[in-house]
């Protein structure tokens, strides 16, 4: 007897776990990013990170892991540092978002960016936007940080290039510079 | 990366939230801070049909004083951590919160979400168990209040029914006790390999009551009664602490995983128990001196 492909095995359609595909639900949202209002019709499953990059075109916010671990996507939501990959854009309805693009311009860097440049706080730069946004929120709350506090806050952002020494030095120096300008 | 499609609702009142949960039952999933759920959605390990987002539910965001401090489920972990009331009345919770992920996680993550998620290596379930706190659950028919041992069932599993919402966490004020939370993790902000919450009622040079609750060594927070008994009613000398440490290591039965072997976890638990008791007693003694 020839061995048929379906021998002894019928493939049943899965019942409970498989839902009938339905068109993705959408919602109209309005939010502010770096002072500019954005109104858009988005799929409710779109993350805030994807909204910032794809709809608003602000690609400074990077996506590394998309599950909260690497910190590359860190932005400010109503002034607080959060992971933009762990929120949906619909949840930011009415919110004020700031991203790394709000910091400085190539001609006039933010003191935090200057400190990173001067201390080699970046190499490839992939982690840098998230690190800048994390440390900016941190330095506003703790203008006189200890090295231990700096290391503690940086533990929420992964960098695969620098070995962190330059980053710690940059944050330490940025605290000094920002105290001077504030 | 995108989650599978879902329907999205964001109730603004508790009644609406409860009604939505009742309607969507098994197919609905509550979204609180999203710091555990959204990773599961992004990786499509969870594919709920309906997301019920509680972030517009202001009435569940509060911290109220009392013999039991009552914390609304949607209170952000970071808000609780920085709350003067929590720092004064619930020092063990304030201390443990600093080990929960990173500030960027705690800015979104909620007190109720961490307890409801019931990760076996999470800090807050151990705090709730150590202080014999309670959770309040609500559905369309009413509310019920459960202690930690009735609430945490096993790994990531609680007594919450599909139509139930965790609305409040109640933690007894413990500013009169000596407490300490310590943990060992691979990196700061990671889940604990092992963590311990120590609670000591110190009186006249002895511990009148001792509680040692561990996280990371089983499916639910684990208390080691034999070690607690060995520390109770005695001055906590080096010899007594060494004995407690031995009993803890021998009494636990943790699992091995890629992060640590079972042997290592047992050893660390014993060491942490001893250290945490020392810190808790020192704090209790300081309090005694200050109030005299
Ligand atoms: C990088 C990273 C590091 C982390 N490190 C730690 C750590 O060290 N220790 C630790 O404990 N946690 C850690 N977490 C998890 C974090 O604490 C989460 O905030 C927490 O586990 C879940 O709370 P949430 O409010 O974010 O809930 P969500 O993620 O929204 O929900 C989690 C689960 O609980 C359910 N749920 C939430 N609220 C309710 C409610 N009120 N009633 C009924 N069900 C509810 C949801 O349906 C879901 O199943 C980490 C997370 C990340 C991303
Ligand atoms: S992309 Fe958001 S934390 Fe990694
Ligand atoms: S500079 Fe390359 S990852 Fe940090």
Residues in chain A: 182
Atom in ligand 2 nearest the alpha carbon of residue A71: 3
pLDDT at B77: 98
Nearest CA to ligand 1 atom 9: B100
Q: Does A117 touch chain B (CB under 8 A)?
A: no
- Read off the pLDDT of residues B72-107 as tens digits, 9 standing for 90 and up: 999 999 999 999 999 999 999 999 999 999 999 999
CB pairs A-B closer than 8 Å = 92
Q: Give the residue from B46, B52, B57 showing the smallest Cα distance to B14.
A: B57
Provide the percentage of residues in chain B whose pLDDT is more than 90: 93
Of A22, A47, A82, the CB nearest to B5: A22
Q: Ligand 1 mean position to B109 CA, how many Å?
A: 6
Per-residue pLDDT of chain A (182 residues; tens, 9 = 90+): 444 344 444 444 444 444 444 568 999 999 999 999 999 999 999 999 999 999 999 999 999 999 999 999 999 999 999 999 999 999 999 999 999 999 999 999 999 999 999 999 999 999 999 999 999 999 999 999 999 999 999 999 999 999 999 999 999 999 999 997 65
pLDDT at B26: 84
Kindly state if the Cβ of A76 falls inside 6 Å of ligand 2: no
Q: Ligand 1 mean position to B115 CA, how many Å?
A: 8
Chain-chain contact of A87 with B7 (C-beta, under 8 angstroms) = no
Residue written as tokens 């806050």?
A: A153
Rounded to whole angstroms, how far apart are CA atoms B287 and B285? 5
Rounded to whole angstroms, how far apart are CA atoms A105 and B83? 37
Atom in ligand 1 nearest the alpha carbon of residue B73: 41
Low-confidence ranges of chain B (pLDDT < 50): none
pLDDT at A181: 63
- Residues in chain A within 8 Å Cβ distance of B104: 71, 74, 81-83, 134, 156
Under CATH, what is the fold of the domain A111-179?
A: DNA polymerase; domain 1 (1.10.150)
Nearest CA to ligand 1 atom 8: B191
Do residues B272 and B126 lie in contact, with contact meaning Cβ atoms separated by under 8 Å? no
pLDDT at A8: 41
pLDDT at B187: 87
Q: Looking at domain A13-102, which CATH architecture does it have?
A: Roll (3.10)
Minimal C-alpha gap between A42 and chain B (Å): 12
List the domains of chain B with CATH numbers. 7-53 (3.30.43.10), 58-172 (3.30.465.10), 178-287 (3.30.390.50)
Quick one: DSSP state of residue B130?
H
CA-nearest residue to B82 within chain A is: A141
How high does pLDDT run on average in chain B?
Answer: 96
Chain-chain contact of A47 with B42 (C-beta, under 8 angstroms) = yes
In A21-175 the beta strands, taken as DSSP E runs, fall at 26-33, 36-43, 74-77, 80-83, 96-98
Domain boundaries, chain A: 13-102, 111-179
pLDDT at A15: 44
Helices A147-154 and A128-141 pack at an angle, to 10 degrees, of 140
Radius of gyration of chain A (CA): 22
Torsion from C-alpha of B84, B200, B118, A63, nearest 10 degrees: 50
ipTM value: 0.94
One fold for A13-102 and A111-179: no
Q: Is the pTM higher than 0.80?
A: yes
Ligand at shortest distance from the CA of B105: 1
Backbone dihedral angles phi then psi of residue A12, each to the nearest 5 degrees? -90, 145
To test the contact with chain B by mutation, choose from A44, A54, A61 the residue with the greatest count of B C-beta atoms within 10 A, namely: A44
Kindly state if the Cβ of A70 falls inside 6 Å of ligand 2: yes
pLDDT at A93: 97
Q: Give the residue from A175, A168, A60, A72 showing the smallest Cα distance to A120.
A: A168
- Strands of the sheet with B134-139, listed across from one edge: B63-64, B68-72, B165-172, B134-139, B142-147
Do residues B74 and B54 lie in contact, with contact meaning Cβ atoms separated by under 8 Å? yes
Rounded to whole angstroms, how far apart are CA atoms B158 and B108? 22
């Amino acid at each position: 007897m020839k061995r048929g492909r379906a021998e002894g095995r019928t493939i049943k359609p899965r019942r409970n776990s498989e839902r009938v595909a339905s068109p993705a639900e959408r919602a109209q949202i309005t939010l502010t990013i770096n002072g500019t209002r954005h109104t858009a019709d988005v799929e409710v499953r779109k993350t805030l990170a994807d909204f910032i990059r794809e709809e608003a075109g602000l690609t400074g916010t990077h996506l590394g892991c998309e599950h909260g671990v690497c910190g590359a996507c860190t932005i400010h939501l109503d002034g607080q540092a959060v992971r933009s990959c762990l929120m949906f854009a619909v949840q930011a309805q009415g919110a004020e978002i700031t991203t790394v693009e709000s910091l400085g311009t190539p001609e006039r860097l933010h003191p935090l960016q200057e400190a990173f440049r001067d201390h080699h706080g970046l190499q490839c730069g992939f982690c840098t936007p998230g690190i800048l946004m994390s440390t900016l929120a941190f330095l506003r709350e703790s203008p006189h940080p200890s090295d231990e506090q700096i290391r503690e806050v940086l533990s929420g952002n992964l960098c695969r290039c620098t070995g962190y020494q330059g980053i710690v030095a940059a944050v330490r120096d940025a605290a000094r510079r920002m105290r001077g300008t504030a | 990366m995108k989650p599978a499609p879902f329907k999205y609702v964001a109730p603004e009142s508790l009644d609406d939230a409860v009604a939505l949960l009742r309607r969507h039952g098994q197919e609905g999933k509550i979204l609180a801070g999203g710091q555990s759920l959204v990773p599961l959605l992004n990786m499509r390990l969870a594919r709920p049909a309906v997301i019920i987002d509680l972030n517009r539910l202001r009435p569940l965001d509060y911290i109220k004083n009392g013999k039991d401090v009552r914390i609304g489920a949607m209170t952000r972990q970071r808000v609780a951590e920085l709350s003067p009331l929590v720092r004064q009345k619930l020092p063990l919770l304030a201390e443990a919160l600093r080990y929960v992920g990173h500030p960027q996680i705690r800015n979104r993550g909620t007190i109720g979400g961490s307890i409801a998620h019931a990760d076996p290596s999470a800090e807050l379930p151990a705090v709730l168990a150590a202080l014999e706190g309670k959770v309040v659950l609500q559905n369309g028919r009413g509310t019920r209040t459960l202690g930690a041992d009735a609430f945490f069932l096993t790994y990531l599993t609680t007594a919450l029914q599909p139509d139930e919402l965790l609305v409040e966490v109640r933690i007894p004020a413990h500013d009169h006790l000596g407490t300490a939370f310590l943990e060992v993790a691979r990196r700061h902000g990671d889940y604990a390999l092992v963590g311990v919450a120590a609670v000591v009622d110190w009186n006249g040079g002895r511990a009148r009551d001792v509680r040692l609750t561990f996280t990371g060594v089983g499916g639910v927070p684990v208390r080691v009664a034999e070690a607690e008994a060995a520390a109770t009613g005695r001055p906590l000398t080096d010899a007594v602490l060494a004995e407690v440490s031995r009993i803890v290591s021998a009494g636990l039965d943790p699992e091995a995983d890629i992060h640590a072997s079972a042997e290592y976890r047992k050893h660390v638990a014993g060491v942490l128990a001893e250290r945490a008791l020392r810190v808790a007693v020192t704090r209790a003694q300081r309090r005694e001196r200050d109030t005299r």
